Amino acid sequence: MGSAWKAPPGWAKMRQVVFAKHGRQCWRGCGRPATTVGHVVARALGGGWDLANLRPECQKCNSSHGAALGNRLYPRAPRRRGQPQRPVRRW
């Protein structure tokens, strides 16, 4: 038994392009190096094999992703930028 999905032709090359474009860090922000490539929108949800839907991903996130779909899609809440915070320094 192998992976749950079947890689399309040219997948190896596609991975290289994804790594070259996005670097070798897991895009989910876990801090681990990416060892594989994952889908931004899961294939089960209609995500495709195009570059726009692919990101470097570590094996751990890649395998735990399917179980906790939904809440794990964007683990890092986007920070609002614009209001620079005052340094809190009382000393």
Asked if 26 is part of the footprint of Zn ion (rule: CB under 5 A), the reply reads: yes
Count of all residues that appear for the chain in the document:
91
Q: 36-39 and 54-57 as β-strands: parallel, antiparallel, unpaired?
A: antiparallel
Decide whether 22 or 32 has the Cβ nearer to Zn ion.
Answer: 32
Q: Which of 18, 37, 54, 61 binds Zn ion (CB under 5 A)?
A: 61
Minimum distance, C-beta of residue 50 to Zn ion, in the bound complex (Å): 21
Instruction: Report CA torsion sign: 66, 36, 5, 54.
Output: positive
Q: Which of 18, 37, 54, 58 binds Zn ion (CB under 5 A)?
A: 58
SS3 51: helix
Q: Which residues bind Zn ion (CB under 5 A)?
A: 26, 28, 30, 32, 58, 61
